[in-house]
Each structure stands twice: as C-alpha cells, then as structure tokens.
Structure 1
Amino acid sequence: MARTSRRTVSKPTRKPLTKDMLLPLPVARVRALSLENHLFLAAIRGGHGSMEVAMNLLRVLYLSWFMRDAADAERDLDVFREAEAVLARGRIRAHQHQGWTLPEEDHRVLEHILALHDQQLASMPSHRYIVAWERLQRFLRSDDWSPIGPGGPDEDEEQKC
C-alpha cells in the first residue's frame, strides 16, 4: 500500500511575547503618563481647557476602555458611558461659547476614569497597553462614533448643560 503524504495547513502564528511585553510598563513611564493625564484634567479645572485637552482626556477614556478586563466589562460600562457623556457635554458648552468647563460632579467622573487608568498602567502587562493603543488607532480610522457602544452619549446631552 502506497503511503500518501499529509499536508498540514498551518495557522498563522502570533509573534511570541517578549519578557518586557509580559511585564508592566516601566514605573517612570507610568508616572509620566499619569502626570500628563492628570494635568489635562487640572487644565480644565483651572479654566485652561481646550479642544486639545478634551481630546486627550477622550484618548485616556478610550484607552482605559480597551484595557479593561473582561470580568469588569459589565460593572464598569456605566462609568465609561458617563465619562463619555461628560466630555460630550463639555464640548457642547464650549461650542455654545461657555468655555471648556466642567461642573464638579463631572470632574469626579473623569477622576474615577483617570484613577482606573493609572491602576491599569501600573499593573497590566505592557502588551495590553500596546493592544489597546492599536485598537484605539483602528477606532479613530473607523466611522464609528464611539467604541463604547450603545448607550453612549446622545444628542439629548445638549439639554443637560
């Protein structure tokens, strides 16, 4: 009986993770990112907000969204939606020539997101940050309004200002 050769179809292999990618980001990098992020919120609180500041806070929000653990996905959903709504209301106020300001309760919502993101940066493997950054870039190139999904801020936010 003749022996037939069996060809195997190989699956595309994922590049193996390096030791550095399995470790959290370096402490100095985490501190620098955290300081930068908190300065954006302080700028708004101090009356120095701008579109650039708001966009950086939105970047932090979405990175944190992409870095969240699957176990926390449902629990944190409302916090992320509310933070997105806070930034939408800030944009609307600025558009209405009220300046880039936020009420104190909105500051607390964004402080919560910044604290969560600080925790993520300090504890998660570096590759999770890289994957989140890549997902953010894909989202920015898409036509989607929000990566957070249904239930995010809507057109009625104008009435809450």
Structure 2
Amino acid sequence: MGNSKKGGRKGMGRQVLTRAMLLPLTAQEVRAISLPAHLALVALQRGQGERDHTVELVQVLCRTNLMVAQSGADVELPALRVAVMVLKGVMENGRARGPGCAVSEHEAEAIAQLLTIHNRLLETLPRRWYDGAQRQIMREVRREVMAVPGCMPLPGSSGAPV
C-alpha cells in the first residue's frame, strides 16, 4: 500500500476552509444582510410593524447569539439579554400578529443595540461564522416546518396537504 494523500486521515470529515470563508463579509454583503433588519425596526418604531418584521429581528437575534457562541466573540451580553426580553415580549403580547405592531422608545433602543452588535460581528468575523449560523437557523426552520401536520406534501403526491 502506497502513501496516498487521498487515504490519509488528516482533515478527514472536516470542511476545507477557503480564503473567502476565512475573511469577513464585504461591506456590500453586510449592508444587504443588515438592511432588512433596520427597515423592520423602523416599521416597528412607526407602529407599522407586521409579523415578518418581528421574524426578521428574531432571526438577527438568533444569528447573533449563534455567531457569538461559535466564535467566542466578546460582545455586550447584557444588551443581548435585553433584546431577547424585548422580542419575547413583542411576540408573547401578540403585538407581532397583525399590522400596526409597535415598540416603545426603550424597546427600540434595545433592538438598535442588538443590530449594532450584529453588524459589528458581520463586519469583523470570518464569513464561516455567519454561514454556520445561517445553516443552523435553516435546519431549525426546516425541522419546525416538518413538525407541522399537513404542511409538507408527501413525495409523489399532488402537493395538496394530507
């Protein structure tokens, strides 16, 4: 048996990291990712928030927490805790269910601080931490969707709910 590099154990099961994955996102990518969250906050501040706006902000919160957990980044944890409480309150009070959802000035400040932390992470952390957080969020969403009866058609079916 020869000394083949293909059969070696080094790096087996690990994802190969490209140069792009080791570098931070570009400024344009950061803006494209963060813009929907900033627009969602503005809608909530104006009393024009809808469920989608709250969902966008919850995704930012989840992505931020995941990037911090994966990377060990040093962030203001109390600010993230306040954002968790604010967004939980918005969802639990039913304010996220219909049009006209609004947040107080204090709540908007807590969300704005979350967005600042999120943007700073996007600007400084390697892309792989953002990609990893996104993958984890999508896995969770798929798992939740699959748990809803009649939500996903069976393979080979007409597509109508069962």
Q: TM-score, normalised by structure 2?
A: 0.71
User: 1:49 aligns to what?
Assistant: 49
Partner amino acid for 1:27? A
Q: Deviations over 1:41-80 (max 9, x none)?
A: 001111210111000000001101111142537x51x332
User: 1:109 aligns to what?
Assistant: 110
Partner amino acid for 1:136? I
User: 1:70 aligns to what?
Assistant: 72
Considering fraction of residues, name the structure with more helix. Answer: 1
Higher deviation after alignment, 98-107 or 19-28:
98-107
Pairwise mapping of residues 17-96 of structure 1 onto structure 2 (< 5 A)?
17-68=17-68, 69-70=71-72, 72=74, 76=77, 78-91=78-91, 92-94=93-95
CA contact (8 A) 2:66 2:133 kept: yes
Q: TM-score, normalised by structure 1?
A: 0.72
Deviation at 1:9, TM superposition (A): 9.3
User: 1:5 aligns to what?
Assistant: none
CA contact (8 A) 1:24 1:126 kept: yes
User: 1:138 aligns to what?
Assistant: 139
Q: 1:50 & 1:13 partners in 2: Cα distance?
A: 43
- Equivalent pairs counted in the alignment come to 134
Partner amino acid for 1:35? L
Deviation at 1:142, TM superposition (A): 5.5
- Structure with the larger RCO, 1 or 2 (CA within 8 Å, 6+ apart): 1
Partner amino acid for 2:123? A
**SS of equivalent residue, structure 1 residue 119:** helix
Q: Deviations over 1:99-120 (max 9, x none)?
A: 4111111111100100001101
Deviation at 1:98, TM superposition (A): 9.7
Percentage identity across aligned positions? Answer: 30
Deviation at 1:93, TM superposition (A): 4.6
